[in-house]
Structure 1
Amino acid sequence: MSFDGMFTHAMVNELNTTLKGGRIAKIQQPFANELILTIRSNRKNQQLLLSAHPNYARIQITDQPFENPAKPSTFVMSLRKYITSAIVQGFRQLHNDRVVMIDLSAKNELGDIHAYTMIIEIMSRHSNIFLVNNESGKIIDLIKRVSPENNSFRGLLPGDTYQLPPAQDKLNPFKAAVEEFTDSKTAADIRNKFEGIGLDTSQELASILSTQGDPITFVQSFDDLVSPNTAKQEKNNKLGFFPVEFKNTTKIVGYYPTLGQLLDNYYLDRARVDRIEQQTKSVTHRLSIILKKDRSKIKKLEKQFKQTKIMDEYNLYGELLTTYMSQITRGEKSITLTNYYNNEEVKIKLNPELSPSENAQAYYKKYRKLQNSIPHINQQLDLANAEVNYLDSVIASLDYVDIEDVDGIIEELEESGYIKKKKKNRRRKKKKSVGERFTTSTGVSIVVGKNNIENDKLTMKLAQKNHYWLHVKDIPGSHVILESSDPDEQSIVEAASIAAYYSKARESSKVPVDYLQVRNIHKPNGAKPGFVIFEGQKTILVDPDRNLVEKLKA
């Protein structure tokens, strides 16, 4: 289900129940299109996420951690000036549209109370977040500024009078009469007639109508259905999120106690990958250029290596020309001689300007040149292939690491010389522990490396030789250490599932994972970070399991 007007309706009710009357304690903008308001409500800090992302626009309470950027944006500075310590008077929805208004009251420097409205418009690439002065109706600031040349309908700059988005002239389903629903024949009819009803909701209502059901009852009881412990994630060909149970068109996958937790689960990977892409766009572009050059180099080297296969022919030609030199006349362009190794006739091209002896020496020279090039070609192939495998593993790791692990990967690339080192802040950095820790259901500790430098430290320096090492078979992934010399079968399965989850095979099933004791792991001299060799491993097939990973986190 999309974040349509019906889902917005349910979310506004949840936000009023949880945050109404709370006080804004902190304002931050961790990413370009996302705002976090930390609201103190019922003696608890809650994070309200407002996202104007073109693909993931939404409003929700989130439990996900967000780091505060070192330098606040202009938008955040404006918000901090006007609504720090503001009281949340309530949340409102514009009819049944995807527009949510947060009513705020805040004191200025003189202690006078002023009213403001924070507005989030959830409209795909046109999504935006505004702070509006209620007394003047003017926009104080907004997260996406749009020049008049790109928007002729309304002003989208600070100081402009706030205007609502263009009206759709549709009916609010929560105020519609029975006959207005029964007049609709198809899901498309319902979407065209009613405001804020997305594809999935319209298909459910159309299905109710087709079975002589009562769509009005479904709509009128909607608020009662969205109660604690009934928010759910459902599947209708593809994974989606739904505020109530759609009995006719979907299959239930999982239940969540709140809509916020439902969205956290649904958007976790999608938003994470997008944020990582934002942070690493220039880095991945740089790596893709290097990879392109390496792959082109490998093709050329392989072509050169194929040419070395004819060097034995050159050696043979030199031998035959030397043996039968008395039969060769200067000025000939070719000669056919008998190969005394197999008695077959061999036609040999000659340079008519060279003597028979010089022709023989020319073939010996070609032979020696190709022979001498083999070690160099093999060495360059090994280096190029090692670099491709390493960079592939780094890029792959961006698909499964968490957002807070990106800095470690960038530092790894800086240390390896692939990107320029940025000027470091002089403030002393806190020492970070190596890897992320988990505990199996039987009490055995697990450590997971989150980049190749951590992988090396874990495997080659920190892990005990009798502990067990796990890694997905032939696929980029994290090194996983199971801190036991004699682990039980359940611990091995759980550690393997974690290894599969922190790998490029995260979305696959029946993933092969190798495991063996650390004493059997070796790192070749000069090998890239994270590269090891081993033998004597066993292999187990497991499914990556996010719920298990969350459950076992230390």
Structure 2
Amino acid sequence: MSLNCNEINVVLSELNLEGSFIQDVVQPGYDTVALYTYGKDGARTILICTSQNSCRIHETRRKIVKNDKPLRFMECLKARIKGARIDSCRQIGLQRIVQIELSHGAERFVLYVRLWSNAANVILCDENNVVVDSLYRRPAKGEVTDGLFTVPEEKPSENRVWQVRTFDDVQAEYSSRFPEGGTLSFNQKIDIWYGEHAETLSREALLVQAEKWYSSSKARMESALERLLKKQNDFSQAEQLRHQGDLILSNIHLISPKAKFLECNDYETGRTVRILLNPEKSANENAAIYYENYKKAVSGSESLLHDIELSKKQLEKLEAQYAEIRNEKNPVRIEQLLRRNSTPK
């Protein structure tokens, strides 16, 4: 479950980030960014997570594991806002969009953190809201370099009351483990709770992603197989093409110049048949066309058999891969399987 609007406000009020400086930026994964800050309350590590069902921003005391290779968005943030001062940090209305205004020498930036489970993103803009870069690049929304980020209007609060969770179980279990003891801050409770439930929440989100990958892949493969089978059916008429060429040659005497068709008796069936002709070509040339199409059909039919068998095996492999993902309990392993089976964007 992602943080609701009132929980975000509690988190931000405890963080009190105004006047702090961003000392470093680390991106441990494709959906998470950590800002290392230092201010009047000392050093803080601010975790921003955009994972579905786990969208949140809060202080963390957990070690942030660096990715094996530097990721694009992290490199951009390091180049632009490392060393920047946080001039303000607030939520826009109750819309779960955190606006962090930054100054870095003469430059001004705004970091927007949108914590929507179905469309979360982290977007760095200049002072005119022109996008410098974003965690997820979404051209349709203008969330790409040089796009214009539209800041939503601050709407009045809805009638629905969003409750701030108390996490009493976390308080009871963990308060004695912290050196300062006593009541845990909301940020501490959030950090602990999501740390304990991350695997369950991540697995659910990854399975939704896996289902989309499976459905789109299966539809694409089945469509390709259907096209191959249709072509195979067309090629199954190959013998008829050769026979029509034979009929043309054996009935040349019936073909008048510029004739558009030949009507003759089929010596195999005893029936009268009509064969289309190219009026611009001779009888021998028309027969040659039918023989050539016959050869192409026979050759194509042989290669089609291989393609059809390959397509069927790919569908079987897809079913096995999806079953493996659904049966996997470890979300890290699920992510690895998805990464292996899909092209990163």
TMscore range, shorter length? 0.5 to 0.7
The aligned counterpart of 1:75 is: 73
Tell me how far 1:269 sits from its aligned partner: 2.6
Tell me how far 1:272 sits from its aligned partner: 4.3
CA distance in 1, matches of 2:65, 2:201: 16
Over 3 Å counting, the alpha-carbon distance change for 1:43 and 1:171 in structure 2 is closer
The aligned counterpart of 2:111 is: 118
More helix by share: 2
After superposition, give the CA deviation of every residue in 1:222-244 in whole Å (9 maximum; x if it has no partner).
xxxxxxxxx83148xxx99xxxx
Tell me how far 1:43 sits from its aligned partner: 7.0
SS at match of 1:37: strand
**What is the TM-score normalised by the length of structure 1?**
0.34
The aligned counterpart of 2:303 is: none
The aligned counterpart of 1:171 is: 156
CA distance in 2, matches of 1:4, 1:21: 25
Q: Which one of 131, 137, 150 corresponds to residue 129 of structure 2?
A: 137
Q: Which one of 97, 100, 120 corresponds to residue 98 of structure 2?
A: 100
The aligned counterpart of 1:500 is: none
The aligned counterpart of 1:3 is: 3
Matched, 1:268 2:195: yes
SS at match of 1:14: helix
Tell me how far 1:106 sits from its aligned partner: 0.8
Over 3 Å counting, the alpha-carbon distance change for 1:126 and 1:58 in structure 2 is same
| 8 Å contact from structure 1 (residues 83, 106) kept in 2 | yes
| 8 Å contact from structure 2 (residues 102, 110) kept in 1 | yes
Matched, 1:47 2:45: yes
| 8 Å contact from structure 2 (residues 2, 55) kept in 1 | no
CA distance in 2, matches of 1:172, 1:277: 30
After superposition, give the CA deviation of every residue in 1:374-395 in whole Å (9 maximum; x if it has no partner).
xxxxxxxxxxxxxxxxx9xxx6
CA distance in 1, matches of 2:143, 2:23: 27
Give the AA of the match of 1:163.
Answer: T
Give the AA of the match of 2:13.
Answer: N
CA distance in 2, matches of 1:37, 1:4: 21
Over 3 Å counting, the alpha-carbon distance change for 1:256 and 1:159 in structure 2 is farther
After superposition, give the CA deviation of every residue in 1:478-527 in whole Å (9 maximum; x if it has no partner).
xxxxxxxxxxxxxxxxxxxxxxxxxxxxxxxxxxxxxxxxxxxxxxxxxx
CA distance in 2, matches of 1:275, 1:53: 7
After the TM superposition, which residues 460-499 of structure 1 pair with which residues of structure 2 at under 5 Å, given as runs?
A: none
| 8 Å contact from structure 1 (residues 15, 91) kept in 2 | no
Tell me how far 1:23 sits from its aligned partner: 1.4
The aligned counterpart of 2:146 is: 159
Give the AA of the match of 2:186.
Answer: L
CA distance in 2, matches of 1:163, 1:124: 19
Q: Which one of 79, 83, 86 corresponds to residue 85 of structure 1?
A: 83
After superposition, give the CA deviation of every residue in 1:325-384 in whole Å (9 maximum; x if it has no partner).
xxxxxxxxxxxxxxxxxxxxxxxxxxxxxxxxxxxxxxxxxxxxxxxxxxxxxxxxxxxx
Structure of greater relative contact order (alpha carbons < 8 Å, 6+ residues apart): 2
CA distance in 1, matches of 2:83, 2:13: 23
The aligned counterpart of 1:453 is: none
SS at match of 1:157: coil
CA distance in 2, matches of 1:30, 1:76: 9
SS at match of 1:260: helix
Give the AA of the match of 2:117.
Answer: S
Q: Number of matched residues?
A: 207
Ranges in structure 1 where 5+ consecutive residues have no aligned partner:
108-112, 149-153, 174-189, 192-196, 202-230, 241-254, 283-390, 411-554
| 8 Å contact from structure 1 (residues 53, 125) kept in 2 | no
Tell me how far 1:89 sits from its aligned partner: 1.5
| 8 Å contact from structure 2 (residues 123, 143) kept in 1 | no
Give the AA of the match of 1:233.
Answer: F
The aligned counterpart of 2:185 is: 258
| 8 Å contact from structure 2 (residues 110, 129) kept in 1 | no
Q: Which one of 218, 224, 233 corresponds to residue 167 of structure 2?
A: 233
Tell me how far 1:96 sits from its aligned partner: 2.3
SS at match of 1:144: coil
The aligned counterpart of 2:234 is: none
Tell me how far 1:263 sits from its aligned partner: 0.7
Tell me how far 1:60 sits from its aligned partner: 0.5
After superposition, give the CA deviation of every residue in 1:420-462 in whole Å (9 maximum; x if it has no partner).
xxxxxxxxxxxxxxxxxxxxxxxxxxxxxxxxxxxxxxxxxxx
- Cα RMSD of the aligned pairs, angstroms, is 3.5
SS at match of 2:118: helix
The aligned counterpart of 2:247 is: none
Tell me how far 1:92 sits from its aligned partner: 1.4
Q: Which one of 100, 120, 123 corresponds to residue 127 of structure 1?
A: 120
CA distance in 1, matches of 2:66, 2:204: 18
CA distance in 1, matches of 2:95, 2:205: 29
Over 3 Å counting, the alpha-carbon distance change for 1:146 and 1:6 in structure 2 is same
CA distance in 2, matches of 1:170, 1:104: 24
| 8 Å contact from structure 1 (residues 48, 62) kept in 2 | yes
Tell me how far 1:20 sits from its aligned partner: 2.4
CA distance in 2, matches of 1:23, 1:75: 19
Tell me how far 1:97 sits from its aligned partner: 2.1
Over 3 Å counting, the alpha-carbon distance change for 1:20 and 1:272 in structure 2 is farther
**What is the TM-score normalised by the length of structure 2?**
0.52
Give the AA of the match of 1:133.
Answer: D
CA distance in 1, matches of 2:24, 2:6: 29
SS at match of 2:166: strand
Matched, 1:28 2:15: no
SS at match of 2:6: helix
The aligned counterpart of 2:248 is: none
SS at match of 2:167: strand
CA distance in 1, matches of 2:11, 2:204: 28
After the TM superposition, which residues 526-541 of structure 1 pair with which residues of structure 2 at under 5 Å, given as runs?
A: none
| 8 Å contact from structure 1 (residues 146, 157) kept in 2 | yes
